Amino acid sequence: MRRAVFSQLMWIAFAGSQAFSQSSVLGTSSDYHPTMTFDVASIRESKVGNEIVHTGSSPLHASTFRMQNINLSNLVTLAYGVQYYQLSGAPSWDFETLYTVEAKSDDAADAKLAHLSDHDARLEKQHMLQVLLADRFHLQVHWESRQIPVYDLVISKPGLLKETSDDSPQINGANGKAYPPLYQRGSSMTGFELVGHGATMAMLCDTLNSQFGRPVVNQTGLSGKYDFVLPYLGRFDADRKSDDTNPVPTLDHSLQEKLGLRVKASRGDIPVVVIDQVDQHPPEN
């Protein structure tokens, strides 16, 4: 059986807030309508052994797109701006067939993307990949709403969250650029920290989606911006072995103790991308 070795995927073009409503996922809440496409593209089936390294990059404000050893489902989630649990109908060969994808447009496209907002550039990059998948894989999809398990983020201990003050200093990285309002640092060996600096509950839920593996819906009623440092390793206390003495708290435990929040199992209507048709072997060029 193949063993996947994951390197850091720089899917910058598709990063950012993913709200759980079909209008926001589709971008229809915006007046901006993407039209750009890739000028040249190469798609090759990857020749891999037992160990698979997934790498890639897609700068937000440039037309280049490069992914190595990526499966169809991940291509579709990138193209439509959804999480994996918002995808249905993946073919049986999805995890057995991997692709190396390289695509770009001309200098004029790069110049246009460079002047777009992050939101509009993200819509363009997603549209470019959607068109490429439809052309090469003959991909056809439709949207529908399905009720699936979710977590509601609720307040358990009021008063622990600290609102960002107007005079809070900006946090800059080594390159002098400001960090985003919510980012993660650390490693799986020593533990992680979610660092909020003017972060909203919507941003926190977007980040928790991937950590908990299902949608996290903001039910806190909080509309402010907050500063916090949230250390964690693993998701729930129940997931840890009885002899685990690691001092870093789990994410669920840290949410309760540091922020006075907790996740509660629930069900919700979530927009889902359903794959209707797709070819396994696209033409290479």
pLDDT tens, residue by residue, 169-220: 666 665 667 778 999 999 888 899 999 999 999 999 999 998 998 999 999 9
Considering the domain architecture, whether residues 46 and 111 belong to the same structural domain is answered as: yes
Residue with tokens 């870093």: 248
Quote the CA–CA distance of 5 and 73 in Å, as a whole number: 18
Considering the domain architecture, whether residues 79 and 191 belong to the same structural domain is answered as: no
Considering the domain architecture, whether residues 188 and 220 belong to the same structural domain is answered as: yes
Q: For residue 271, which of 92, 81, 90, 25 has the smallest C-alpha distance?
A: 25
Asked, for residue 285, whether it belongs to a domain, the answer is no
Considering the domain architecture, whether residues 25 and 128 belong to the same structural domain is answered as: yes
Q: For residue 224, which of 253, 245, 204 has the smallest C-alpha distance?
A: 204
Considering the domain architecture, whether residues 182 and 135 belong to the same structural domain is answered as: no
Considering the domain architecture, whether residues 32 and 141 belong to the same structural domain is answered as: yes
Percent of the chain whose pLDDT exceeds 70: 84
Residues whose CB falls within 8 Å of the CB of residue 215, separated by 6 or more in sequence, listed in order: 20, 83, 85, 148, 150, 151, 209, 268, 270
Asked, for residue 151, whether it belongs to a domain, the answer is no
Considering the domain architecture, whether residues 140 and 163 belong to the same structural domain is answered as: no
Asked, for residue 134, whether it belongs to a domain, the answer is yes
Asked, for residue 79, whether it belongs to a domain, the answer is yes
Q: Give the chain's domain count.
A: 2
Helix%, strand%, coil% for the chain, nearest 5: 25, 35, 40
Asked, for residue 65, whether it belongs to a domain, the answer is yes
Q: What predicted TM-score, i.e. pTM, was given to this entire model? A: 0.75
Which residues span the domain enclosing 221?
A: 157-259
Asked, for residue 266, whether it belongs to a domain, the answer is no
Q: Is the pLDDT of residue 23 over 60?
A: no
Considering the domain architecture, whether residues 88 and 51 belong to the same structural domain is answered as: yes
**Contact call for residues 263 and 153 (beta carbons, < 8 A):** yes
Considering the domain architecture, whether residues 130 and 248 belong to the same structural domain is answered as: no
Asked, for residue 150, whether it belongs to a domain, the answer is no
